[in-house]
Structure 1
Amino acid sequence: MKLILLTPAAGKRLIGKAVAKMICASEAIRTGMVIVVAGTTNAYVAEELLSRIGLSEEFLSRHFFRGITTANHKDTDEAGRLKSDSAFFGDVVIDQGRYVSGKTIEDVIERVGSGDVIVKGANFVNRSAGTAGILIGHPQGGTIMKAIPAVIGRRARLILPVGLEKRVCENIHEVAGLMNAPGASGFRMMPVSGEIITEIEAMKILYGIDTRLVAAGGVSGAEGAIWLATEEASEISDEVSRALDEISREKPFEK
């Protein structure tokens, strides 16, 4: 057994690498459409994906989000957006292997079809139940409501990268019922079905290693950190150890 410590930022980097690997193994990256919807975890997905196809110099991860949670709630409005979000430049859209800059999911969603890929971050994950949820700040349901017709109606593939810092042990439908009830205030909750990718799935995708969450928490920059445990120390090769060591040094996300 070997323990692996991942801060939230390191977890995002690990997940980003795994989702990028998944997408690059799909036909959508070559002949279809891939949409990485703006979000903090998806900033890492976009970086890793564009790096794999040789276009990383065209992307800046800062401001790659719509809603965001910060320690200072005065930074954001009722929808969770930064009060000065003029720097937002759109989602990442890759059409038949080409990065189409300056576009959003709203611009291209009508062209998304079967087998195309939409990557959307989440705010709630219950791995044991296989459920995920997304906080909704927009009165029309936000970007996930733009994606659902393509996912359900046209069978696009929905990938949900979400760190285990967002783990919740409640029933997603009960939570949604509470948050979406008439008279409630604040954000709403949208339960979603898709391919949930946490740090545990990322370890398996990238390195073929089975892990489990065994502890969490920390201070001085490790707030929200998780400890993953492997079954056998021999599963971690020197090459993987070096890769994980580099990932563990990931700096906190800058908005």
Structure 2
Amino acid sequence: MNRVQFTLTVEEGKQLIARGVAQHPLLKNALINGKVVLKGGTTVSKIAEILIGRPLRISGRITERGTVAGLIDTSDPHSVLIEKGDWRNIDDTIVEEVQQLGPRDVIVSGANAIDGNKKAALMAGSAGGGNVGKSLSSWYCEGAHVLIPVGLEKLVPGNLEEIIKETGRKGKDLSWGMSVGLMPIYGEVITEIEAVKHLAAVECHAIGAGGIGEAQGSVTLEAWGQEEEVLKLIQVISEIKEGVNEVSGTRQSLVQCQTPCQGCGRHIGCGYKLNMIKEKKRVKIGAITIGQSPRDDMVPDIERVLGQHIMIIQKGALDDFTYEQVVHSFSPKEGDEVLVTRMRDGRQVKIAEHHLLPLLQNAIDQLERHGVEANLLLCTGRFPEFRHSNLLLKPQDLLHSVTAQVAAGQPVGLLIPDEDQREQIAAWWNRSGVKVEVEVASPYQDFRHIEDAAERLKTKAVSLIFMDCMGYTVKMKNRVKEITGKPVMLPRTLAARVVAELFNPVTA
């Protein structure tokens, strides 16, 4: 096998580029012998996930509404510096940090546009491009290398040097979203084509672009070379296509602005802000976790079900507490009903339900003041009535009713997070008239425990499997289904489908 053709969606292309950049010799050397600056953007955020294990904050972005910002200003890093295996946020110090770079160092920045001559430019929605704009001269003066990972969907016709002369933030009569100017950036442009060549010793051409449905904006590539190298590339492409390819960025930062918002004061020309363009209002839904927000491990699965018409605003009952405070003050004692959740850093905690009730009430009150039309409680446990003015969806009764009807009297395999919950959860299901076979595997610990529990459930005479915690992911569900061969119900997506039914418009 010496020649292969493949099509990549925009997000698959970004994942390929991220993998290719991670293998770039200059970057690999800088990680060992120098410094690496990652300037945020959705492609560079994917690179950050590879290099530092977390996404970056996304500031501006282009959506169906135009050039828009995030709804909420967060403290998550947009730009980071990596040195000797550690990283730090340099959003406020990027000008000074870049001035200290030299020939051993690498700056990685995406672009909003490239032309046929591989010239690149960044959009700037804030005056002068903000702190990043102020740092640009030092990108080149000090001798650092600049890598520009950018998908071929950003290719624009014409000469960017001429285009930059003709555009600017100011002087536009109307803009869908904030008015932007263009800042030229110089460096080594890495598209899907170059990324392929960093991942395997092959030649590569783009032979087409665009598509329908989820393939809109896609690129079709052809690569050829020695069989061993082509097979290596096929393995990479297969891994990307079998994975979950979603927009990278911290979840709170991916919620786009809606007039009025925090960015309105520093952005100009926005037709929404000027009431010259009718805003399509999105429905705000509160998502309340019994742990800490944002739940980057959970909300993406829910957002894929809800679609673009619904905006999730997150709140966590434990947002204002440290891990140590939670363990000291909220841990369950004998006789308490036990709930399992996770902290913002991923650590699992067990909490007595009665400690959570006033914290959950406070979260409901805050989100209703924020203007949400409904709140979804991200927990499958049983709770008393809360005070609320708008809809409050407590999933347990809904999930139990659906499962009972589907099972039709047959036993259900149950996956739960913690052994301490076995008795109380079995009692809840018994009250719902469902016979259960219980296995324990936490969604917040080693994935192999999920697989082991699935192997045990495979031997049980159950009609279906219910994964009884909002912490279980789509990936976990798919693996359990693969191992057991049985239908599997996942609470987070089932609850999200109810929200979508309630609030999404239906096309005839």
Which TM class, normalised by the smaller chain length? 0.7 to 0.9
1:225 to partner: Cα distance = 0.6
* Uncovered stretches (5+) of structure 1, i.e. residues with no partner: 51-55
Q: State the secondary structure of the residue aligned to 2:236.
A: helix
1:143 to partner: Cα distance = 4.9
1:116 maps to which residue? 105
Residues 1:242 and 2:229 are matched in the alignment: no
Amino acid at match of 2:34: G
1:103 to partner: Cα distance = 3.0
* Uncovered stretches (5+) of structure 2, i.e. residues with no partner: 174-178, 249-253, 255-508
Amino acid at match of 1:187: V
1:154 maps to which residue? 142
2:127 pairs, out of 125, 139, 146, with 139
| Aligned partners of 1:5 and 1:248 also within 8 Å | no
| Aligned partners of 2:199 and 2:233 also within 8 Å | no
How has the CA–CA distance of structure 1 residues 67 and 125 changed in structure 2, closer, same or farther, with 3 Å as cutoff?
same
State the Cα RMSD in Å.
2.4
- Higher RCO, 1 or 2 (CA under 8 Å, sep at least 6)? 1
| Aligned partners of 1:160 and 1:194 also within 8 Å | yes
2:73 pairs, out of 64, 67, 85, with 85
Residues 1:211 and 2:204 are matched in the alignment: yes
Query: Does 143-152 or 40-49 show the bigger shift?
Result: 143-152
Residues 1:18 and 2:20 are matched in the alignment: yes
Distance in 2 separating the partners of 1:68 and 1:219:
22
Residues 1:99 and 2:86 are matched in the alignment: yes
Could you list the per-position Cα deviations for residues 40-89 of structure 1 after superposition, in whole angstroms to 9, with x for gaps in the alignment? 00011111223xxxxx2xx2x2x52221112234xx7xxx4212132533
How has the CA–CA distance of structure 1 residues 231 and 23 changed in structure 2, closer, same or farther, with 3 Å as cutoff?
closer
TM normalised by structure 1 equals 0.83
1:70 maps to which residue? 63
| Aligned partners of 1:92 and 1:99 also within 8 Å | no
Distance in 2 separating the partners of 1:177 and 1:235:
47
Residues 1:252 and 2:246 are matched in the alignment: yes
2:183 pairs, out of 190, 201, 211, with 190
The alignment of Structure 1 onto Structure 2 pairs a total of residues equal to 239
Distance in 2 separating the partners of 1:191 and 1:106:
17
Query: Does 206-215 or 177-186 show the bigger shift?
Result: 177-186
Distance in 2 separating the partners of 1:232 and 1:216:
22
How has the CA–CA distance of structure 1 residues 191 and 8 changed in structure 2, closer, same or farther, with 3 Å as cutoff?
same
Distance in 1 separating the partners of 2:207 and 2:192:
13
1:92 to partner: Cα distance = 2.4
Could you list the per-position Cα deviations for residues 129-166 of structure 1 after superposition, in whole angstroms to 9, with x for gaps in the alignment? 12111111111223542442322221111111100011
Q: State the secondary structure of the residue aligned to 2:215.
A: coil
TM normalised by structure 2 equals 0.44
Distance in 1 separating the partners of 2:103 and 2:133:
17
Bigger Rg, which one: 2
| Aligned partners of 2:122 and 2:185 also within 8 Å | yes
1:53 maps to which residue? none
1:227 maps to which residue? 220
1:98 to partner: Cα distance = 2.8
